Amino acid sequence: MIVRDKPTGLDLAFAMRGSIVPHIAPRVLLMVLFAGVLVWVDMEWRRLPRIDSAAYSSFGLALSLFLGFRNAAAYERWWEARKLWGGLLADMRSLAREAELFIADKSPRHDLLRGALAFLHLHRANLRGLEDDQKALALAGPMAQGVHPPDAMLDVMTWRLAEAAGAGAIDGFGLRALSTRLSNIALRQAGCERIAVTPLPYVYSLLIHRTIWLFCLLLPFALVGPAGWMTPVFVAIVGYVFLGLAEVTEELAHPFAMTANGLPLDAICRAAEISLAPHLGEQPPAPLQPERFLLS
């Protein structure tokens, strides 16, 4: 996720980190080249058919509305994912406090909290499709190579609670409170996985990209008369806006991906490590800082 202080006008004009320009530049240049060829044909060889600008504006309005709807749907997915991970962080902190209250023995309490941190990193790696994530491997060991590592770690945490209860290290009320906390964690985990495995309907992407290309390739026929050689410039601007919105939507629709607009899952996991360190008797690590404005 891009993290910057309030940018200046110059920053906004020339910033490339987090920009969608590198992703759409080849397509915009292709549209500009096509428009330039059409203008040359119209001026030097044969007059092209004209499209009424008023009728064409209604086409653009419909495309804008559909892009706005799709962008809102993608942002809703991104924001829901952020709320779920915020809830996971709150659950980790609450789990640590509840463990302090209900588990007097340090050994099972620390095992439970280390298992919680291992789960969080396994969950992050699972959502991002990272099979050999070093942090997850260091915390979970061979369990990180299982069929569903985060779910397996939640099972281990449940077994540890059961063992502590069987040994008399935790009473029934404490067991109920901690098991409820694990259930909340599992619900948030399932919510994240639902977002990860259920993309926006493919027909949305298909319709949007086909319509954008159709609109931009027909645009010169509406502009070549009044705009002349400025037509490629206007095509570039329109192509940048529409393709840019489509590209941003694609990134927002995949909130766990390691992109400029993806969620900072590493930073959230580090925040959990910082919060749980005092409960483990350890020195808290330093918070993750953005690298070239990118917080992973």
Rounded distance between C-alpha atoms, residue 170 and residue 163, angstroms: 9
Fill in the DSSP letter of residue 169: S
14: Cβ–Cβ under 8 A, 6 or more apart, which residues? Answer: none
Closest listed residue to residue 64, CA positions, set 197, 201, 182, 241 = 241
Tokens of residue 99, six digits: 């463990």
Alpha helix (H) residue ranges in the chain:
9-14, 21-44, 53-102, 106-128, 134-140, 149-166, 172-197, 202-227, 231-252, 265-280
Cβ atoms of 240 and 248 within 8 Å: the answer is no
Residue type, 75: Y
275: Cβ–Cβ under 8 A, 6 or more apart, which residues? Answer: 89, 92, 93, 96
Rounded distance between C-alpha atoms, residue 95 and residue 174, angstroms: 11
pTM: 0.88
1: Cβ–Cβ under 8 A, 6 or more apart, which residues? Answer: 260, 261, 262, 263, 264, 294, 295
Cβ atoms of 94 and 181 within 8 Å: the answer is yes
Closest listed residue to residue 119, CA positions, set 91, 93, 157, 82 = 157
Tokens of residue 274, six digits: 């910082």
Q: How far is CA 142 from the centre of its chain?
A: 28
49: Cβ–Cβ under 8 A, 6 or more apart, which residues? Answer: 221
Tokens of residue 228, six digits: 């002349």
Q: Provide block-wise average pLDDT over 10 residues at a time, the chain (296 residues).
A: 61 60 89 91 80 74 81 92 96 95 90 94 92 83 81 92 87 91 96 92 83 88 85 91 88 88 91 94 87 69
